[in-house]
Amino acid sequence: MNRFPVIIDCDPGVDDAVAILLAKQLPELDVRAITAVAGNVEVEKTYANAHKILHVAKWDVPVFMGAAKPLIGAQITAAGIHGVDGLGGVDVPGTVIPPAPQEAAWDAIYREAVAAKGELVLIAVGPLTNLAIAFGKYRALPELIKRIVIMGGAATLGNTTPAAEFNIYADPEAAEMVFQSGVPVHMVGLDVTLKSYLTAAEVDEIGAFGSEQAKFFHSILQNVLAFSTKLGLPGVSMHDPAAVLYAVEESLFTAEEAGVRVECKGRITRGKTVTDLYSDAQFPEKNAVVVTGVGDIIAEGLKAHHMCKSREEEQARVKELLKKY
């Protein structure tokens, strides 16, 4: 087993919570820190939520507060989906009082990158503001990061707008800085994550496992599930968990190298991740790996479904990881 150091940069957020619960069960991930950023809700709430999730997970990982607003422009949130508190209004068992923030997220990222001696992997599943600030403050940082796996963007579609996915739209300038940082960026976008969903029955199945984590998982997903059903979707998309799984099991996804730029000025396309995957005209360099597909194994595994007849060992692994909730 290849165990590697990781920082999870996130904006919890319901699917962020599921991603953190999943990350704990992946022995390959040596999670050195969780850094919180404004996104789904305000940064004070994402910071507190990270502590709440870790409390439920019974996991001791340091949490650092990051940016409260994007580099440019007004903050947007997804409180209409995740709830005003970011966790669907679900009370966490026991009193969780997060400590007063000390070290800033970008300083913690740099410190851990130096300590990891070029092996640190960043899994970023929220707006990329913390990473952009870190790269701006510490010019040597790109050479110390092995790769960045992001949940964000898409090659073909958007959700916050017809052109843009939420995490990128929330801070396009930060996203462009990250894509142009020189660090290998692996983009797990909507093209893939919309295929990785849990139906209502499957959410109930996991909730029935009966553990504190399973009950928490079931409770926080109810509002998002209702929202997804209202939109006519087959289930609730596991956006952020898909990125965490990709960080460990790249072989279960399909991906292509591509040039990616982030549109920062377009009147109706701001926040779009523009890729050259399907274009005759190409960008000067292939600065990203764009994940383009997710096999039945991952899709079914994320749904905690029964095994397919093919590639049974891989599907069983994913299913068992999810059932450790």
Residue with the two structure tokens 């923030």:
101
Tell me, what's the pLDDT at 202? 85
What secondary structure does DSSP assign to 236-270, as a single string? Answer: EE-HHHHHHHHHH-GGGEEEEEE-EEE--S-TTTT
Closest CA to 288 of 149, 132, 127, 171: 149
Tell me what percent of the chain is helix, strand and coil, each rounded to the nearest 5: 40, 20, 40
Element (H, E) at 314: helix 312-323
Nearest Cα neighbor of 251 from 314, 304, 183 is 314
Would you call 239 a catalytic residue per the annotation? yes
Query: pLDDT tier at 298 (50, 70, 90 boundaries)?
Result: low
**Residue linked to tokens 């292509």:** 256
| pLDDT of res. 25 | 87
Query: What is the pLDDT, as a whole number, of residue 301?
Result: 52
* Cα distances (Å, whole numbers) of residue 4 to 27, 120, 140, 230, 279: 9, 7, 21, 40, 35
Radius of gyration (C-alpha) of the chain in whole angstroms:
18
Average pLDDT over residues 21-28: 92
Question: Which has more pLDDT, 296 or 307?
Answer: 296
Residue 309 pLDDT: 27
The pLDDT assigned to 196 comes to 86
Please indicate, yes or no, whether the overall pTM of this predicted structure exceeds 0.75. yes
Please report, for the chain, the start and end positions of each structural domain, with discontinuous segments joined by +. Answer: 4-323
Q: How far apart are CA 38 and CA 193, in angstroms?
A: 21
Mean pLDDT of 120-146: 98
pLDDT for 300: 55
Does 315 have pLDDT greater than 50?
no
In terms of Cβ atoms closer than 10 Å to its own Cβ (0-12, 13-18, 19+), residue 301 is: buried
Q: Which CATH architecture has domain 4-323?
A: Alpha-Beta Complex (3.90)
213-236: pLDDT as tens digits: 889 999 999 999 988 988 888 889
DSSP strands (E only) in the chain = 4-10, 29-36, 63-65, 120-124, 145-151, 185-188, 197-198, 236-237, 253-258, 260-262, 273-275, 288-294
Closest CA to 40 of 17, 57, 20: 17
Average pLDDT over every residue of 142-154: 98
Please, what is the Cα angle at 181 between 175 and 186, to 5 degrees?
Answer: 65
- Choose the catalytic residue: 51, 186, 218, 239: 239
- Assess whether pLDDT exceeds 90 at residue 45: yes
Distances (CA, A) of 103 to 62, 66, 125, 144: 10, 9, 21, 19
Q: Is the pLDDT of residue 299 over 70?
A: no
pLDDT at site 19: 95
Share of the chain above pLDDT 90, in %: 71
Q: Given the DSSP bridges, would you call strands 63-65 and 253-258 parallel, antiparallel or unpaired?
A: unpaired
